[in-house]
Chain A
Amino acid sequence: MRIAFASGKGGAGKTTVAASLAAIWPHPCLIVDADVEAPNLHLFLHPHLEAAQSVYLTVPELDSEKCTACGDCAAMCSYKAIAKLGAGLIVFADMCHGCGGCFEVCQANALKKGKRELGSLQWGSWSLKMGADQNSDQNLNQALGQTSSQTSGKNSGKTLLMGKSRVGEAMSPPLLRAIDGALAAISVGDAASVPDILIDSPPGVSCPAMTTARMADALVLVAESTPFGTYDFKLAHAAFKKLNMPLAVVMNRAGMPGNESGDAALEKYCAAEGLPLLARLPFDLQAAEAYARGYLPLLEQSANALIWQRRFGLLYDAVQRWAGGKIGQIAEPCSAVNICASGTTGAGHA
């Protein structure tokens, strides 16, 4: 099962939700940080990270000895990564999308395969103890025991995969496709040995967020019920709806003082749109403070943490009921929908 967590904009709480669920997930579980511009899951989960592996894009390198300056490559490049100026040719490798077209059209064999670093992938293993040295698994299992049918002692097998863009790199979809490739590689073999995969998406609804959503079987939208939050959430829903994949909602910071009507409005919208509301996570100042200090609320050493463990245990159950039923019903989730021209046309060569 692959579930992505997304939101209309940053700050709605998708990282907290994804990481907290991963923390209490009772089966082997891989959490993926696909927010490659600003990955931060590792700051909360404290994994033992292995060495980073660089990811490259194949870009053209000009052999000016061989180039006849025919201009065919410049004319075919949709991204203006090659320009013909006067008698000369100039390659802007940092603008290349890696489509490979120029290599095909060059008759003179004047383009060599060079590479541009997009960023890196990094694996790590983690356990609850790393996230909160003082917190005992026992507490956690107790909390889970009350809410979930799958319990105790199975919290092992937690891994993290982090994608990280090179500083200054403008394109993230090819790096996200490298993450997708890594996920495909671990998803072979019999289903029982494949971990469940939780993906923390980039914020927003642009190309990177859409590319990430398409890696998943189901998508959870984390929404805040403030007027701005609801506005962003509706835009996000309109965009993700086009992917034709199972969608559900987690309302975060519900019951914020002064925003009572906001909660009701968001609930009404979900009901009208047929969106399952998996949880209403309450507004909690203490939790916000914990997060600001780099702790997940459920891994804090306080009575509060137990309450949060219970809440996420319930959310786990809700996710299981929802996704377990949905996934598999839709045979071809979204491949037919072209949602992002610039993100898909460059796919071939990368």
Chain B
Amino acid sequence: MKIAVSSEGPGLESQVDPRFGRAAGFVIVDMESMNTEYVDNGASQVMAQGAGIETAERLSALGVGAVLSGYVGPKAFTALQAAGMQIYQDLDGRSVGDAVRCYAGGTLNPATASNK
């Protein structure tokens, strides 16, 4: 399965971006191969409204199954749920690599409601 981590930069050593919809980009990690790729989210960052929804659409189209971020707004949360993704919040304040390790370790609980 692929997971997406909102990120301030392109690699595992970058910091988790606390924002979901207006994140600078996402590091997409394939949990089987551990390959990473970076998806820029600049187009959503500048939207007047609907940034979270568009970001959810983008990740959904990439076949992402889980999202790791800091704060996920209510509309984005609804959209991610509708797309069948698991959502992990409050992961800001650490590197993307750390967040992925926490996820892989199985200690994180998926969120049931938006924390924003």
Contact = CB atoms under 8 A, between A and B. Distances in A.
Interface of A: 74, 79-81, 83-86, 88, 90, 92, 95, 342
Q: Which 6 A-B pairs have the closest CB atoms?
A: A80-B50, A85-B83, A80-B53, A90-B82, A85-B60, A86-B83
Interface residues of B, number: 17
Interface of B: 47-51, 53-54, 56-57, 60, 75, 78-80, 82-84
B48 A342 contact: yes
B48 A84 contact: no
Contacts of B84: 86
Contacts, number: 42
B56 A92 contact: no
B56 A83 contact: yes
A81 B57 CA distance: 12
A79 B83 contact: no
Contacts of B75: 92, 95
B47 A85 contact: no
29 contacts: A74-B57, A79-B50, A80-B47, A80-B49, A80-B50, A80-B53, A80-B54, A83-B53, A83-B54, A83-B56, A83-B57, A83-B79, A83-B82, A85-B56, A85-B79, A85-B80, A85-B83, A86-B82, A86-B83, A86-B84, A88-B83, A90-B78, A90-B79, A90-B82, A92-B53, A92-B75, A92-B78, A95-B50, A95-B75
A308 B51 CA distance: 51
Given A83-B57, A86-B84, A90-B79, 12 more contacts: A79-B50, A80-B53, A83-B53, A84-B57, A85-B56, A85-B57, A88-B82, A90-B82, A92-B53, A92-B75, A95-B49, A95-B50
Interface SS, A side: mixed
Contacts of B47: 80
A81 B75 CA distance: 10
A95 B47 CA distance: 13
Interface SS, B side: helix
Nearest to A92: B75
A183 B76 CA distance: 39
Nearest to B48: A342
Residue of A80, A81, A88 ringed by the most chain B CB atoms within 10 A:
A80
Residue of A81, A86, A95 ringed by the most chain B CB atoms within 10 A:
A86
Contacts of A86: 60, 82-84
Contacts of B54: 80, 83
B15 to A, nearest CB: 27
Contacts of B79: 83, 85, 90
B49 A79 contact: yes
Given A88-B82, A90-B79, A92-B75, A81 B60 contact: no
B10 to A, nearest CB: 25
Residue of A88, A90, A92, A95 ringed by the most chain B CB atoms within 10 A:
A90
Contacts of B57: 74, 83-85
Contacts of A88: 82-83
Contacts of B51: 80
Nearest to A71: B57
Residue of A81, A84, A85 ringed by the most chain B CB atoms within 10 A:
A85
A141 B30 CA distance: 82
Contacts of A81: 50
B44 to A, nearest CB: 9
A74 B60 CA distance: 14
